[in-house]
Structure 1
Amino acid sequence: MTSIRLNDPATEPVAVEEMRAHLRLSGSEEDSSLSGFLKAARTHIEQATRRALISQSWRLYLNGWPVGRIVRLPVSPVQSVDQITVYDRDGNASQLGPSDWQLDRSAQPERVKIKLGAGLPASDMMAAEIDFTAGYGVSAADVPENFRQAVRLLAGHWFEHREAGTDLAITSLPQGLDRLLSTVRVPLL
């Protein structure tokens, strides 16, 4: 199983203006740097927790159906399964209809149950792709505050310790970040 993000979120969970206020900066000279730190912090937190903070599209690649035709999705929270494509041995694609699968949000990570008989028999199937949308919502207000605080902490830390080559800048993360994220990590598949 391999997954990729198909598009970056349209916005960040913390706005540059909010980050500027958090750091007590009065001017906008550092806005470009702050924007980069915010994106990097969001990306780091998403990778560490296997969660998408802002709505984004993902694709999961499969070489076949797992046992029981239950596919655990690698990123949470899942808003929707948008499309499931199955490829036969000749590489021809066919789409499964929404009645062929069910999204189970009760599990962590969320999973998709493919109905028996849906798509191709396992012997004729070469691969499958599941396109889904993950994230808490499309705006920063949809993101839980603990994640927003983690983004502010990490982006602020990187902003304050951006000098190259220091041990502090390279090896440390801000105090408290691990506590903010420790209870929200999605279990590894």
Structure 2
Amino acid sequence: MIPNLLTAPALEPVSLDEAKAWLRIDATDEDPLLAALIVSARLTLEAYTRRFFVTQSWRMRLDAWPAQTLRRGALAIPFAPFRSLSAVRVYESGDVARTLDSASFRAAPARDAGRVVFLSPPPKPGRPFDGIEIDLVAGYGDSPADTPEPLRRAILALVGHWHENRGDAGDASAPLPTIAMALAKPFRRERLT
């Protein structure tokens, strides 16, 4: 599966003013840096928790339907929280995209990863690579307040840590600061292998 971001979040879960209040900063000269740290902290914590904090649109590209999808009639959506499915397209021979009728599948929102249940077997793609495109929406909601408060606090803790430790030649693979990890850990989706 190849994921592609279609629409980034319109707002961050933490505002610049919230970050400045957290850090006790009144001046505006570091606003661009703090804004960049907020985005970086969100992306880092989204990767750590394997969840999207604010509404964003993604496209999944598959070469073919996984074997279990064809056997069971369902496809797992690895994005969480899963909000909605926008479209399912299958490329037929000649690279012609066919959008599946929304009546041919069901996709209910889920606080965790979702799934698409096909009411009839989905058509096989007519090309060997990227033959299936699935457009979906994931995230807790459109408003920063929709992001759970511990995750918002984890962003602030990480922004504070990075702000205080600028320019330190630390290990890039070092773990997250303890407070940020403790706040985010209950939301972490473990990988099943």
TM over 0.5: yes
Residue 89 (str. 1) matches residue 84 (str. 2): no
**Residue type of the alignment partner of 1:56:** Q
- Residue 117 of structure 2 corresponds to 113
C-alpha displacement of 1:117: 3.4
Residue 56 (str. 1) matches residue 56 (str. 2): yes
Label 1:171 to 1:32 Cα distance change in 2 as closer, same or farther (>3 A).
same
The answer to whether the 8 A contact 2:34-2:159 is kept is yes
The answer to whether the 8 A contact 1:104-1:113 is kept is no
Specify which of 158, 164, 172 is matched with residue 160 of structure 1: 164
Provide the C-alpha distance between the structure 2 equivalents of 1:133 and 1:97, rounded to a whole number of angstroms: 18
Sequence identity (%): 34
After TM superposition, list the pairs within 5 Å mapping 1:63-102 onto structure 2.
Answer: 63-66=63-66, 67=68, 68-102=72-106
- Residue 22 of structure 1 corresponds to 22
Q: What SS does the corresponding residue of 1:38 show, helix, strand or coil?
A: helix
Q: What SS does the corresponding residue of 1:72 show, helix, strand or coil?
A: strand
Provide the C-alpha distance between the structure 2 equivalents of 1:171 and 1:160, rounded to a whole number of angstroms: 16
Provide the C-alpha distance between the structure 2 equivalents of 1:57 and 1:10, rounded to a whole number of angstroms: 11
Provide the C-alpha distance between the structure 2 equivalents of 1:64 and 1:170, rounded to a whole number of angstroms: 34
Structure 2 stretches lacking a partner, 5+ long = none
User: Alpha-carbon deviations, 1:73-122, whole Å to 9, x = none?
Assistant: 1211111100110112332110012111111445842111122234x2x3
Q: CA RMSD in A?
A: 2.1
Provide the C-alpha distance between the structure 2 equivalents of 1:107 and 1:55, rounded to a whole number of angstroms: 13
Q: What SS does the corresponding residue of 1:48 show, helix, strand or coil?
A: helix
Specify which of 174, 177, 182 is matched with residue 174 of structure 1: 177
Specify which of 144, 150, 160 is matched with residue 148 of structure 2: 144
The answer to whether the 8 A contact 1:55-1:134 is kept is yes
Residue 8 (str. 1) matches residue 22 (str. 2): no
The answer to whether the 8 A contact 1:37-1:158 is kept is yes
**Residue type of the alignment partner of 2:28:** S
Label 1:173 to 1:187 Cα distance change in 2 as closer, same or farther (>3 A).
closer
Residue range with higher mean Cα deviation, 3-12 or 68-77: 68-77
Provide the C-alpha distance between the structure 1 equivalents of 2:125 and 2:89, rounded to a whole number of angstroms: 16
TM-score if structure 2 supplies the norm length? 0.87
TM-score if structure 1 supplies the norm length? 0.88
Label 1:161 to 1:39 Cα distance change in 2 as closer, same or farther (>3 A).
same
The answer to whether the 8 A contact 2:57-2:137 is kept is yes
Structure 1 stretches lacking a partner, 5+ long = none
Provide the C-alpha distance between the structure 1 equivalents of 2:159 and 2:132, rounded to a whole number of angstroms: 37
